């Protein structure tokens, strides 16, 4: 089916971002096939979506998240922690150890529906459920396909629960990567998931590297999130985290290094040279009190830095704002970092995701995938190509998302879900499962 979005203010984004007022976009076969900026009527028989007084932007990309975290909302059972590893031990490792396959499916489903509501059309997920590993990625995939979004999945391999569970983690990654390669569509993709340097032995990392490389897959790993990850690597392996990952053949253009809060300049240079993507998660880093990544220095050194939420939100414009505030605080300068955070979300995330999904995304241009968010934003100050980023960060970030389209399919229209799911039933089931899960903690 073809769709025409008409009368909207189109913000193309991309390298030479432009703004076209009162313009139309024709979508055919999941792609943008025409953009008309001069009042030309497109697609005579197409379904029409009126975007009058609305902003039409590319769907947002969340480059690092954990869908399973949605069952932690309102959980009061975690003991206060003194540091980041304490947060993992008191909260996340207790929670993920109690997850069932059904929990994986429903926690993903609720977070994905919320993503649709915030115009987020692509997610790069990092999953953990050490007592329910086998089949967990297929369960999440089912949720992704039911919502129509684009997602890249992986299982976070770790030695923290012993050899047998590590084996199962290796196997789940391998199986799921093979399964995605067989399906070979641009909606669901896989990376090889690794928890973090400090919970992985050389032997396990080496095996993962071999399997991943043989399959041609990249890796998705937490890197130097807290200072303790670096301290552990130096104590046990005599080198920094990024040096260790390079030595064990984990880095490269297909690999995502999430966080990199404590990377030094030498590590930044390795990340740049290996073309490894870094994903910054400022809200999570603030919440865990681990520090603020120097994404300005990283980008200056040529590192591709994207933006994720680490499951703190599904709203990328909210994360964007926090990314800017924390750079101001870090550099004690209210005038730095603006284009660094803008580029992280609007240029670099499409590049990071484009490497994984093999399509042109994050831009409203002919030939790009039709992943689109329409925001209910009628600016009350002049808006054009010169100030659109200021509008997005300070203004449109406060607006509701009206319509979400992924791969040319309408997932929400006029704020009403257009997918074939019973949201009320899903929420009720999720609440029931979350209550059961909490009882186990
Ligand atoms: Zn994470």
Helix (H, G, I), strand (E, B) or coil at 419: coil
Report the candidate in 133, 69, 29, 63 with the shortest Cα–Cα distance to residue 357. 63
Q: Is the pLDDT of residue 167 over 80?
A: yes
**Average pLDDT, integer, range 79-108:** 92
**Average pLDDT, integer, range 267-296:** 98
Say which residue the tokens 């869908």 belong to: 67
User: Which pLDDT score is estimated for 372?
Assistant: 98
Ligand 1 centre from 258 Cα, in Å? 7
Count of CB atoms within 10 A of residue 382's CB? Answer: 8
Phi, psi for 26 (deg, rounded to 5): -105, 130
Q: What is the pLDDT of residues 174-212, one digit of tens each?
A: 999 999 999 999 999 999 999 999 999 999 999 999 999
Element (H, E) at 278: strand 277-280
- 157 vs 77 pLDDT, higher one: 157
Count of CB atoms within 10 A of residue 420's CB? Answer: 8
Ligand 1 centre from 93 Cα, in Å? 13
**Average pLDDT, integer, range 18-31:** 97
CB burial class (10 A; 0-12, 13-18, 19+) of residue 74? exposed
Quote the CA–CA distance of 335 and 324 in Å, as a whole number. Answer: 10
**Average pLDDT, integer, range 407-421:** 97
Quote the CA–CA distance of 11 and 17 in Å, as a whole number. Answer: 7
Q: What is the pTM of this model?
A: 0.98
Q: Please, what is the end-to-end C-alpha distance for the chain in angstroms?
A: 48
**Average pLDDT, integer, range 53-80:** 94
Ligand 1 centre from 156 Cα, in Å? 10
Quote the CA–CA distance of 437 and 70 in Å, as a whole number. Answer: 12
Quote the CA–CA distance of 340 and 317 in Å, as a whole number. Answer: 14
Cβ(421)–Cβ(109) under 8 Å? yes
User: Which pLDDT score is estimated for 388?
Assistant: 98
Ligand 1 centre from 4 Cα, in Å? 37
Percentage of the chain modeled with pLDDT above 90: 95
Three-state secondary structure string covering 141-193: HHHHHHHCCEEEECECECCCCCHHHHHHHHHHHHHHHHHHHHHCCCCEEECEE
Q: Is the pLDDT of residue 267 over 90?
A: yes
Ligand 1 centre from 58 Cα, in Å? 24
The structural domains of the chain, ordered by start, are: 3-59+361-417 (2.30.40.10), 60-357 (3.20.20.140)
User: Which pLDDT score is estimated for 76?
Assistant: 85
Phi, psi for 322 (deg, rounded to 5): -60, -40
Ligand 1 centre from 314 Cα, in Å? 14
Ligand 1 centre from 279 Cα, in Å? 10
Ligand 1 centre from 18 Cα, in Å? 33
Q: Is the pLDDT of residue 29 over 90?
A: yes
Ligand 1 centre from 222 Cα, in Å? 6
**Average pLDDT, integer, range 351-362:** 97
User: Which pLDDT score is estimated for 37?
Assistant: 94
Q: What is the CB-side half-sphere exposure of residue 417 using CA atoms within 13 A?
A: 18
Quote the CA–CA distance of 310 and 363 in Å, as a whole number. Answer: 24
**Average pLDDT, integer, range 202-229:** 98
User: Which pLDDT score is estimated for 79?
Assistant: 84
Q: Is the pLDDT of residue 68 over 90?
A: yes
Q: Is the pLDDT of residue 125 over 90?
A: yes
Report the candidate in 208, 171, 225, 193 with the shortest Cα–Cα distance to residue 127. 193
Ligand 1 centre from 24 Cα, in Å? 38
Ligand 1 centre from 405 Cα, in Å? 26
Ligand 1 centre from 65 Cα, in Å? 6
User: Which pLDDT score is estimated for 181?
Assistant: 97
Measured N-to-C along each axis, helices 101-117 and 136-147 cross at an angle, to the nearest 10 degrees, of 30
Q: Is the pLDDT of residue 77 over 80?
A: no
User: Which pLDDT score is estimated for 78?
Assistant: 78
**Average pLDDT, integer, range 8-12:** 98
Q: Is the pLDDT of residue 10 over 90?
A: yes
Ligand 1 centre from 6 Cα, in Å? 38
> What torsion do the CA atoms of 92, 96, 352, 328 make, to the nearest 10 degrees?
-20
Alpha carbon of 403 to those of 49, 115, 319, 362, 421: distances in Å?
9, 12, 20, 16, 17
Helix (H, G, I), strand (E, B) or coil at 426: helix
User: Which pLDDT score is estimated for 38?
Assistant: 86
Quote the CA–CA distance of 188 and 184 in Å, as a whole number. Answer: 8
Quote the CA–CA distance of 286 and 195 in Å, as a whole number. Answer: 20
Q: What is the pLDDT of residues 323-338, one digit of tens each?
A: 999 999 999 999 999 9
Report the candidate in 213, 180, 196 with the shortest Cα–Cα distance to residue 84. 196
Q: What is the pLDDT of residues 381-407, one digit of tens each?
A: 999 999 999 999 999 999 999 999 999
Ligand 1 centre from 167 Cα, in Å? 21
User: Which pLDDT score is estimated for 39?
Assistant: 84
What single string gives the DSSP state of each residue in 187-220? SEEE-EEEEEGGG--HHHHHHHHHHHHHHT--EE
Ligand 1 centre from 126 Cα, in Å? 7
Alpha carbon of 149 to those of 69, 70, 113: distances in Å?
18, 17, 9
Ligand 1 centre from 175 Cα, in Å? 22
Task: Please count the residues of the chain.
Answer: 441
Ligand 1 centre from 256 Cα, in Å? 11
Quote the CA–CA distance of 156 and 193 in Å, as a whole number. Answer: 4
Q: Is the pLDDT of residue 418 over 90?
A: yes
Cα Rg of the chain (Å, integer): 21
Ligand 1 centre from 396 Cα, in Å? 27
Say which residue the tokens 């009162």 belong to: 22
Mean pLDDT, the chain, rounded, equals 97
Ligand 1 centre from 49 Cα, in Å? 36
* pLDDT band at 1; cut points 50, 70, 90: confident
Q: What is the pLDDT of residues 241-258, one digit of tens each?
A: 999 999 999 999 999 999
Quote the CA–CA distance of 108 and 140 in Å, as a whole number. Answer: 6
Quote the CA–CA distance of 409 and 195 in Å, as a whole number. Answer: 34
Helix (H, G, I), strand (E, B) or coil at 228: helix
Ligand 1 centre from 420 Cα, in Å? 30
**Average pLDDT, integer, range 214-230:** 98
User: Which pLDDT score is estimated for 214?
Assistant: 98
Say which residue the tokens 């030094």 belong to: 264
Cβ(281)–Cβ(66) under 8 Å? no
């Amino acid at each position: 089916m073809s769709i025409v979005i008409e009368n909207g203010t189109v913000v193309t984004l991309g390298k030479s971002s432009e703004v076209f007022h009162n313009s139309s976009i024709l979508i055919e076969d999941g792609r943008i096939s025409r953009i008309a900026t001069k009042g030309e009527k497109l697609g005579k028989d197409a379904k029409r979506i009126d975007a009058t007084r609305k902003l039409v932007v590319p769907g947002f990309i969340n480059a690092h998240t954990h869908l399973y975290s949605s069952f932690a909302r309102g959980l009061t059972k975690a003991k206060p922690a003194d540091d980041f590893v304490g947060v993992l031990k008191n909260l996340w490792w207790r929670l993920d150890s109690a997850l069932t396959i059904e929990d994986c499916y429903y926690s993903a489903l609720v977070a994905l529906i919320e993503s649709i509501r915030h115009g987020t059309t692509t997610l790069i997920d990092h999953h953990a459920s050490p007592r329910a590993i086998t089949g967990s990625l297929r369960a999440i995939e089912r949720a992704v396909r039911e919502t129509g979004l684009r997602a890249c999945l992986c299982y976070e391999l770790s030695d923290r629960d012993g050899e047998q569970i590590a084996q199962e983690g290796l196997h789940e990654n391998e199986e799921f990567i093979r399964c995605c390669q067989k399906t070979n569509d641009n909606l669901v993709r896989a990376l090889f998931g690794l928890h973090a340097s400090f919970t992985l032995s050389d032997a396990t990392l080496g095996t993962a590297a071999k399997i991943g490389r043989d399959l041609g897959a990249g890796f998705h790993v937490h890197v130097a999130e807290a200072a303790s990850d670096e301290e552990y690597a130096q104590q046990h392996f005599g080198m920094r985290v990024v040096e260790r990952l390079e030595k064990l053949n984990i880095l490269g253009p297909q690999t995502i290094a999430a966080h990199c809060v404590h990377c030094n300049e030498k590590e930044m240079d390795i990340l740049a040279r290996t073309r490894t993507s870094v994903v910054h998660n400022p809200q999570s880093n603030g919440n865990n009190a681990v520090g603020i990544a120097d994404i300005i220095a990283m980008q200056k050194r040529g590192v591709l830095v994207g933006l994720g939420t680490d499951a703190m939100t599904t709203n990328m414009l909210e994360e964007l704002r926090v990314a800017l505030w924390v750079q101001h605080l870090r550099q004690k300068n209210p005038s730095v970092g603006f284009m660094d955070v803008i580029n992280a979300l609007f240029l670099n995330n499409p590049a990071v995701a484009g490497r994984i999904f093999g399509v042109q995304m994050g831009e409203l241009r002919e030939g790009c995938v039709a992943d689109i968010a329409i925001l209910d934003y009628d600016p009350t100050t002049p808006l054009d190509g010169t100030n659109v980023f200021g509008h997005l960060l300070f203004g449109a970030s406060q607006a509701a998302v009206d319509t979400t389209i992924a791969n040319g399919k309408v997932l929400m229209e006029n704020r009403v879900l257009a997918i074939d799911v019973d949201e009320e039933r899903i929420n009720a089931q999720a609440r029931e499962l979350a209550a059961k899960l909490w009882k186990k903690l």
